[in-house]
Amino acid sequence: MYNIIQTILIVVSILIIIAIMMQPSKQQDALNALSGGGGDLFSQQKKRGFESFMEKVTAILAIIFFACSLILVYLSSH
């Protein structure tokens, strides 16, 4: 059981890296962080399409990663 969870953890880790690399870049957000970003104060838009999908995939993979990590800690201590 321990080896199966560990393999799942490794696969999920690789998938998280791929999911993060596939997300659209936010260069404008980084520029606003340095310059104050006053222009974007009232122009918050809802994320749509691919960006929203990749954000959800990353969140789900992160939850699976943490769950597998906690299961591995429990299995290793017992």
pLDDT of 17? 95
Q: For the chain, what are the domain ranges?
A: 1-22+49-78
pLDDT of 50? 85
**pLDDT for 32-73, tens place per residue?**
566 655 555 555 666 778 888 999 999 999 999 999 999 999
pLDDT of 68? 96
pLDDT of 28? 60
pLDDT of 49? 85
Confidence (pTM): 0.71
User: Using CA of residue 13, residue 17, residue 18, residue 22, what is the dihedral sign?
Assistant: positive
Residue position matching structure tokens 């990663």: 65
